[in-house]
Amino acid sequence: MEIELVALQQNIGLHIKKLRLEAGFSSYEVFADKNKLSRIQYFKMEKGTNFTLKSLNRILNIHEITIVNFFHLLEKDPKRAIDTSCSDRMNELLKRFKLSKIEFSKSLGLSNSNQINSILNEKSNIKVKLAYKINKAYPDVPFRWVLKGES
């Protein structure tokens, strides 16, 4: 539970930074100064180490976004924490079926191996659609195992 909380705080911090960059501020110091915020506190907020809901709400008000919409965007973010066990499962599948990344991708109906490479390089997780394709092409491989490592 504590690990999940730390990951959530870091994710919130990353999104605060993303909002600042999208607003055209390359420097957190300039953003903090312009909005009459403590530079140190704002820096820590972007790192996900020091904020309350009140301080988060203050930042979101500057960006004219509600806290509800912020968490909704956070939930939809494709850049969520990477589950490194996805890479392990993908490697296991390649070894089990003795296929290259390209051969495996083609067997799933993918036009290239970019998605498989991204998982193997721990840049993305296995998505539901891919887990479904794997289970459909290889029925003896359980869908839940592919997606979450569950038997």
Q: How far is CA 84 from CA 40, 96, 125, 149, in A?
A: 32, 19, 8, 11
Burial class (CB in 10 A: 0-12, 13-18, 19+), 146: buried
- As a residue count, the chain comes to 151
Q: Report the predicted TM-score, pTM, of the whole model to 2 decimal places.
A: 0.51
Dihedral angle computed from the Cα positions of residues 4, 5, 8 and 9, in that order, rounded to the nearest 10 degrees: -150
Angle between helices 39-47 and 2-22 (to 10 degrees): 120
Tens digits of pLDDT across the chain (151 residues): 566 778 888 889 999 998 888 888 899 999 999 999 999 999 999 998 878 999 999 999 998 889 988 888 777 655 556 788 899 999 999 999 999 999 999 999 988 888 898 899 888 888 888 988 999 999 999 988 998 888 7
All domains of the chain, ordered by start, with CATH? 2-76 (1.10.260.40), 85-148 (1.10.260.40)
